Structure 1
Amino acid sequence: MPAAQTPKPAVVAVPGSSAAVLSAGEQLAELGAPGVPACFSCHGAGGRGNGAHFPAIAGQPVAYTIARIHAFQARAKESGAKPGTMKAVASALDEQQIDQVAAYLSVTKR
């Protein structure tokens, strides 16, 4: 009998987001990138949240996710970022990655 697997979050099409953008965002959310841990490694399976310090990120509007990541980047510039914190993660993301992961998270159902 196969081991239990965490079901993948349901993804629906969103106008203006290409399949390539959503695929790249899925990669970041689920697997991360060099120097960037996967979103779901802290925010729980499917981005549904993992306690008070790691809120649900699935299903958030694109603009909200982008604004939150930019806010973490700004705080990192002001006061530095400890490794393993969201400020450090946000600082490692470029604008294209931010757009990609925000698009993917916006269409990922909780």
Structure 2
Amino acid sequence: MNRLCKSLKVHEFWAVAGFAAGLSMMSASALADAAKPNAANAAHGQAIAAQVCVACHAADGNSPAATYPKLAGQHADYLVKQLADFKSQGGKPPARSNPIMSGLAATLSDQDAIDVAAWFASQTTKPGYARDAKTVPLGQRIWRGGIAEKGVPACAACHGPTGQGIPVQYPRLSGQWADYVAAQLNAFQQGTRNNSEPMRQIARRMSDDEIKAVADYAAGLH
């Protein structure tokens, strides 16, 4: 009888222990799921854009001046990554140095970033144009074939023949302000933008004239 009681108690112990372990795993899983961002809510993103982004990028992402990039039609995943890169990670300086954007990005949650990126991605980019006819041949040559003697690959290899880019890794450059594209290439060249090692290496091999020519050409892509 004693042995039977002891056996039952042992079984009860392991049953309770197993139940507790199961609850613990379920709780951990629930916490992990709760921490994950939800699906993108473009309507919420529109509200954020109207409050936080409108002054520089306009409510629909078609910024009025080349100082600020056009965000309309940009890949959502790429925008989310850039917002994360403006934030300090683990006490380290942000991968993209911009005091204004770092301050704004710090106020956005992961879900906010997903939502506002979805809103801008859903908008239509206003077309741009190449302004300097004299540099179009050089810009086109670099975009389509790179600069072989300098080890510069064709821009089209990553950003596409018409500048549509590839989500997450490579942004859409079609219609983007030429001055903004040139400024970013200069930032990669000078090491003040550090969130793409391939672009840092490429920009360092290009002259100022080559940068201006390809940036101007990209602005006119459709």
Question: Could you tell me the TM-score, scaled by structure 2's length?
Answer: 0.38
Q: Give the aligned partner of residue 56 of structure 1.
A: 172
Q: Distance in 2 between matches of 1:13 and 1:69?
A: 19
Matched with 1:93 is 206
Asked whether the 8 Å contact 2:129–2:219 carries over to 1, the reply is no
Change (3 A) 1:49 1:94: same
- Residue 30 in structure 1 maps to residue 127 in structure 2: no
8 Å contact kept, 2:147–2:153: yes
1:21 is matched with: 135
Task: Tell me, in whole angstroms, the C-alpha distance in 1 between the residues paired with 2:204 and 2:187.
Answer: 10
RMSD of aligned Cα (Å) = 2.3
2:187 to 57, 71, 75: 71
- What TM-score do you get using the length of structure 1 for normalisation? 0.73
CA distance in 2, matches of 1:87, 1:30: 19
- Aligned residue identity for 1:99: K
Q: 1:39-76, CA deviations, whole angstroms, 9 ceiling, x for partnerless residues?
A: 11011231101121111112111110111101111227
For residues 71 and 93 of structure 1, the distance between their equivalents in structure 2, rounded to whole angstroms, comes to 12
CA distance 1:32–1:65, shift in 2 (3 Å): same
Distance in 1 of aligned mates of 2:130 and 2:165: 22
Bigger-Rg structure (1/2) = 2
Unaligned residue ranges in structure 1 (runs of 5+): 1-11
- 1:108 is matched with 221
Q: In structure 1, how many angstroms separate the alpha carbons of the residues matched to 2:141 and 2:191?
A: 26
The code of the aligned residue for 1:72 comes to: F
The higher relative CO (CA closer than 8 Å, separation ≥ 6) is in: 1
What letter corresponds to residue 103 of structure 1 in structure 2? Answer: D
Q: Which is richer in helix? A: 2
Q: Aligned partners of 1:45, 1:14: CA distance in 2, in Å?
A: 16
Contact 2:130-2:218 within 8 A present in 1 as well = no
Counterpart Cα distance in 2 of 1:89 and 1:41: 13
Distance 2:157 2:129 in 1: 24
